[in-house]
A and B are shown apart, each in its own frame.
Chain A
Amino acid sequence: MKVLVFLESDEGRIKKSSLEATSYAAEIARETVAMVFGELDLSELNKVGSAGAKKILHVTDSNFDQSNIMAVSTAIAQVFEIENFELMVMAKSSLADSVSARVSIKVDASVASNVTNLPDMANGFTVIRSIYTGKAFARTKLTSKKKILTIRKNTVPILENGSDPEVELFQPNLKSSDTAVKVLSQEKSSGDILLPEADIVVSGGRGLKGPENWGMVEDLAGALSAATGCSKPVSDMDWRPHHEHVGQTGVKVSPVLYVAVGISGAIQHLAGVNSSKFILVINKDPEAPFFKAADYGIVGDAFDVLPKLTKAINAAQG
């Protein structure tokens, strides 16, 4: 079997989650073909080879914005058909949700989202996916001949032993309806670690009292090379931008370490973080519900603990 992988990039770099998806595909199949949109350095494409792709189909047409759901879906469906793929994988993301959905209709595929293990192919094709916002899993059989999976972060380690891939330019045929959605402008903070991609996330809640105190959170995040997040009230009050809001109605993260500072641990917040590998909670109230979901806990005032912790981490890292 050969597997198609849809890669996303950010600021000229292949997303880590997409490299994971590549390695996921390489674990299943001998032949992994990755597809990527936009200008990228050869060194980035070689990372994809190293993660397991034998070949890369590179779409460099400037009419193609990676975030154009319809154009990207059309291009992928064309490759799916031309090269007779039966399986495609991609990293779970809000773009992947829409793209996987549209492609699944175009090529008549089954789709499973938020997959957390390698498929069981002994008897049909079965995967486990995360549901109820991380509160449970569903063992799900994909019954169509063609299949699409979106993979949750940290499902497989990124391989590093592959060789440089064969790179082929691909020019899809677009219909006018594929460019019906006009992008007027994009606003994007640059240089930041993307929250859903981060291995470490430091989030602050209402316990930090106001946006002027976020310097402490950013300092700790800086020491850990972490992304910053927040609870819903914090983004509702505009202390922090909306795309940092973590939880049931915000971003779902699954980092190696999630640090929650001054967040009570309401079930809607926990829903967005419960697939983190380790959770550290800093809260001045020993009864805060978040401690029940934590691996490490410090009862204390954030204004006192955060600077001390940042200092100790900086010292430990020399």
Chain B
Amino acid sequence: MKILVCITHVPDTTSKISFVDEDTLFDKTGVQFIIGPYDDYALARAVELKEQLGGSITALNVGLVETEPTIRKALAIGADEAIRIDAEPKDTFFVAYQIAQVVKGGDYDLILMGRESIDFNGGQVHGMVGELLGIPSVSPVMHLDVEGNIAKLSREIEGGKELLEVDLPIVAGCQEPISEWKIPNMRGIMSARSKPLKVLEPFGDKQKTVVENFIMPAAKRGVKMIDADNVDELVNLLKNEAKVL
């Protein structure tokens, strides 16, 4: 079983988001970076599948050198080796193309990703990689088991879920409750230092979108507090201001 887990290096979910250079650049000052929470689920499930079935896990990130502490964390959680494509992940197509090239050279049975990244929230890299490779992509995946050459999975649909079966290889965009986030232990952290982290030059530079600038949401109007004994006042506001009644 050869598993590739694609991880993003993203601001901690509690981060305040702001921009510099006339709103063209994300302001990293004071921001703590983490493995994307959905990617973290994918990695945790990969570790369990490897325990169960044997094989190896490769963690992959498209990013500049600053992402290496995040990649080391994936090694500490249980990946055996890692690859970093040395490029700024500017565009979804660009990232998907890089990942597809790595898969082509690697003979992977399972390519696990998060259902979406929490920075650009495209939810599209898994579909693009699947299409670039001509293999199925499934997302959002809530359960994943492997029996022989067959993946058995459940996928969330609006208002419920469906059970699926498909031959490997596949790309899966993962979400909870596929597994529980794993915290690296001391042994993991020590061994991560000596696990291989290969740095590759990017494959081409094609991208299909360009971000011109970032925009912050409008400030909130401020809250109107209503006395718990005066719900009629609230009903009035819902009727005449929010116009939902």
A: residues with CB less than 8 A from B are 10, 67, 69-70, 73, 93-95, 97-102, 104-106, 109-114, 126, 128, 130-144, 177, 180-190, 192, 194-197, 199-200, 224, 242-243, 248-249, 256-257, 267-268, 271, 274-275, 277-278, 280-281, 291-301, 304-305, 308-309, 312-313, 316-317
Which residues of the partner chain A approach B120 to less than 8 Å between Cβ atoms?
131, 138
B98 within 8 A of A: no
Q: Which residue of B lies closest to A106 (CB)?
A: B131
Q: How far is the CA of A108 from the CA of B7 in the complex (A)?
A: 25
In the complex, the answer to whether B217 meets A183 with C-beta atoms within 8 Å is no
Task: Given A97-B123, A248-B37, A249-B38, answer yes or no on A109-B118 (Cβ-Cβ < 8 Å).
Answer: no
Output the least CB separation between B218 and chain A (Å): 10
| Those 3 A-B pairs whose CB atoms lie nearest each other, nearest first | A101-B127, A300-B228, A97-B123
In the complex, the answer to whether B217 meets A280 with C-beta atoms within 8 Å is no
Task: Given A104-B93, A268-B14, answer yes or no on A296-B162 (Cβ-Cβ < 8 Å).
Answer: no
Which residues of the partner chain A approach B164 to less than 8 Å between Cβ atoms?
181-184
Output the least CB separation between A11 and chain B (Å): 9
Output the least CB separation between A298 and chain B (Å): 5
In the complex, the answer to whether A133 meets B121 with C-beta atoms within 8 Å is yes
In the complex, the answer to whether A297 meets B224 with C-beta atoms within 8 Å is yes
| B226-243 interface bits toward A, Cβ cutoff 8 Å, 1 = contact, 0 = none | 111001101101110111
Q: How far is the CA of A268 from the CA of B209 in the complex (A)?
A: 28
In the complex, the answer to whether B124 meets A128 with C-beta atoms within 8 Å is no
Which residues of the partner chain A approach B140 to less than 8 Å between Cβ atoms?
94
In the complex, the answer to whether A143 meets B208 with C-beta atoms within 8 Å is yes
Which residues of the partner chain B approach A104 to less than 8 Å between Cβ atoms?
93, 124, 128, 208
Q: Which residue of A lies closest to B119 (CB)?
A: A132
Which residues of the partner chain A approach B116 to less than 8 Å between Cβ atoms?
97
Residue among A73, A94, A186, A242 facing the most chain B CB atoms (10 A cut-off): A94
In the complex, the answer to whether A98 meets B226 with C-beta atoms within 8 Å is no
Q: How far is the CA of A188 from the CA of B171 in the complex (A)?
A: 24
Count the B residues whose beta carbon is within 8 Å of the partner chain — how many? 80
Q: Which residue of A lies closest to B115 (CB)?
A: A94
In the complex, the answer to whether B225 meets A299 with C-beta atoms within 8 Å is yes
A–B Cβ pairs within 8 angstroms, 24 of them? A70-B136, A94-B156, A95-B157, A98-B139, A99-B127, A101-B127, A102-B130, A136-B217, A137-B216, A138-B213, A139-B211, A180-B167, A183-B162, A184-B163, A186-B160, A186-B161, A187-B160, A249-B176, A268-B13, A296-B223, A305-B231, A308-B231, A313-B235, A316-B239
Q: How far is the CA of A304 from the CA of B11 in the complex (A)?
A: 39
Option from A105, A187, A200, A275 in Cβ contact (under 8 Å) with B131:
A105
Q: How far is the CA of A183 from the CA of B164 in the complex (A)?
A: 5
Q: How far is the CA of A199 from the CA of B37 in the complex (A)?
A: 28
Q: Which residue of B lies closest to A92 (CB)?
A: B123
In the complex, the answer to whether A242 meets B156 with C-beta atoms within 8 Å is yes
Option from B96, B158, B228, B243 in Cβ contact (under 8 Å) with A196:
B158
Which residues of the partner chain A approach B231 to less than 8 Å between Cβ atoms?
298, 305, 308-309, 312
B53 within 8 A of A: no
Option from A299, A301, A313 in Cβ contact (under 8 Å) with B238:
A313
Q: How far is the CA of A278 from the CA of B243 in the complex (A)?
A: 10
B55 within 8 A of A: no
In the complex, the answer to whether B208 meets A110 with C-beta atoms within 8 Å is yes
5 further A-B contacts with Cβ under 8 Å, apart from A139-B213, A188-B160, A248-B37, are: A69-B127, A112-B209, A133-B121, A248-B118, A277-B242
Residue among A105, A134, A144, A274 facing the most chain B CB atoms (10 A cut-off): A105
